[in-house]
Structure 1
Amino acid sequence: MRSLVCVLLLSVLHIAAFPLSARSEDVKTLTLYHDSDYSNHYESAYAMKMGVLTALAEINNNVQDYQLTLIEKDNRGNANRSLLHMQQFLKDPNALVFIGGLHSPPYIKNREFINKNKLLLLLPWAAGGPITRYPSDDNWVFRLSVDDTKAGYRMAQFATQTLNCKNPLLLLEDTPWGKSNNNTMLKAFGDIKPQVKWFNWNTKINNAKLMLHQIKNTPAECILFVGNAIEGAVFINAMASFAKNERLPIVSHWGITGGDFFANVEQAIKSNLSLHFIQSCFSFLKTPQTALTKNVIAQSLSLKPTPVAPTELISPAGFIHAYDLTKLLLQGISQITLTDNTEHNRAKIKHALENLTMPVNGLIKQYQRPFAVWSANNIDAHEALGFDDLCMANYQPDGKIHIINNPIGNVE
Structure 2
Amino acid sequence: MNFSHRLLGLFATLFIPLHSSADTSSINIYLDADRSNYIESARSIEQGIKTAFQEVDNTIQGRKDNFVVLDHKGNSVRSKKNMAKFLNDPDALVIFAGLHSPPLIKYREYINKNQILTLVPWAAGAPITRYPSKENWVFRLSIDDKKAGERMASFAVKDRKCKTPHLLLEETPWGKSNQRNMTLAIGNFGLAEPKVTWFNWGINESGARIKIREIKRANADCILMVSNASEGVQVVNAMASIPLEERLPIVSHWGITGGDFAEKVPHAIRSRLDLYVIQTCFSFLSSPETSLSTSVLEQAIQLFPSEIQTPNDINAPTGFIHGYDLSRVLIQALSQIELGEDMVENRAKVRLALESVDAPVKGLVKTYHTPFSAFSDDQPDAHEALGLEDLCMAKFNQTNNIAVIQKNNVR
TM-score by length of 1: 0.91
Q: Which consecutive aligned stretches of 4+ in structure 1 deviate over 4 angstroms post-superposition?
A: 304-307
Q: Could you tell me how far apart the structure 1 residues matched to 2:289 and 2:148 are?
A: 26
Shift of 1:406: 2.5
Correspondences of 1:86-165 after superposition (within 5 Å) = 86-165=83-162
1:36 maps onto 2:37 in alignment: no
Q: What is the match of residue 4 of structure 2?
A: none
Identity of aligned residues (%): 50
Shift of 1:272: 1.8
Q: Could you tell me how far apart the structure 2 residues matched to 1:409 and 1:97 are?
A: 35
Larger Rg: 1
In the alignment, structure 2 segments of 5+ residues that lack a partner are 1-21
Q: What is the match of residue 188 of structure 1?
A: 185
Count of aligned positions: 386
Shift of 1:122: 0.1
1:213 maps onto 2:210 in alignment: no
Q: Could you tell me how far apart the structure 2 residues matched to 1:322 and 1:234 are?
A: 28
Amino acid across the alignment from 1:101: G
Contact 2:48 2:323 in 1 (8 A): yes
Q: Could you tell me how far apart the structure 1 residues matched to 2:148 and 2:28 are?
A: 32
Q: Indicate the SS of the match to 1:189.
A: helix
Q: Could you tell me how far apart the structure 2 residues matched to 1:70 and 1:269 are?
A: 39
Shift of 1:268: 5.5
Q: Could you tell me how far apart the structure 1 residues matched to 2:312 and 2:281 are?
A: 15
Q: Indicate the SS of the match to 1:327.
A: helix
Q: Could you tell me how far apart the structure 1 residues matched to 2:23 and 2:152 are?
A: 52
Q: Could you tell me how far apart the structure 2 residues matched to 1:378 and 1:106 are?
A: 24
Shift of 1:273: 0.5
Contact 1:270 1:397 in 2 (8 A): no
1:228 maps onto 2:228 in alignment: yes
Match of 2:46 among 45, 49, 53: 49
Q: Indicate the SS of the match to 1:332.
A: helix
Q: What is the match of residue 352 of structure 1?
A: 353
Q: CA 1:302 to 1:94, structure 2 compared with 1: closer, same or farther past 3 Å?
A: same
Q: Could you tell me how far apart the structure 2 residues matched to 1:231 and 1:250 are?
A: 14
Q: Could you tell me how far apart the structure 2 residues matched to 1:306 and 1:57 are?
A: 17
Deviations 1:340-377 (A, max 9, x none): 21101100000000000101000000000010000000
Q: Could you tell me how far apart the structure 2 residues matched to 1:260 and 1:409 are?
A: 29
In the alignment, structure 1 segments of 5+ residues that lack a partner are 1-24
Deviations 1:271-290 (A, max 9, x none): 42110010000000135410
Between 299-308 and 309-318, the greater mean CA deviation after superposition:
299-308
After superposition, the CA RMSD in angstroms is 1.5
Q: What is the match of residue 342 of structure 1?
A: 343
Deviations 1:258-277 (A, max 9, x none): 00010000156444211001
Q: Could you tell me how far apart the structure 1 residues matched to 2:359 and 2:312 are?
A: 29
Amino acid across the alignment from 2:151: R
Q: Could you tell me how far apart the structure 2 residues matched to 1:306 and 1:64 are?
A: 31
Q: Indicate the SS of the match to 1:170.
A: strand
Q: CA 1:336 to 1:307, structure 2 compared with 1: closer, same or farther past 3 Å?
A: farther
Contact 2:267 2:397 in 1 (8 A): no
Contact 2:23 2:91 in 1 (8 A): no
Q: What is the match of residue 394 of structure 1?
A: 395
Q: Could you tell me how far apart the structure 2 residues matched to 1:337 and 1:44 are?
A: 33
Shift of 1:311: 3.7
Q: What is the match of residue 16 of structure 2?
A: none
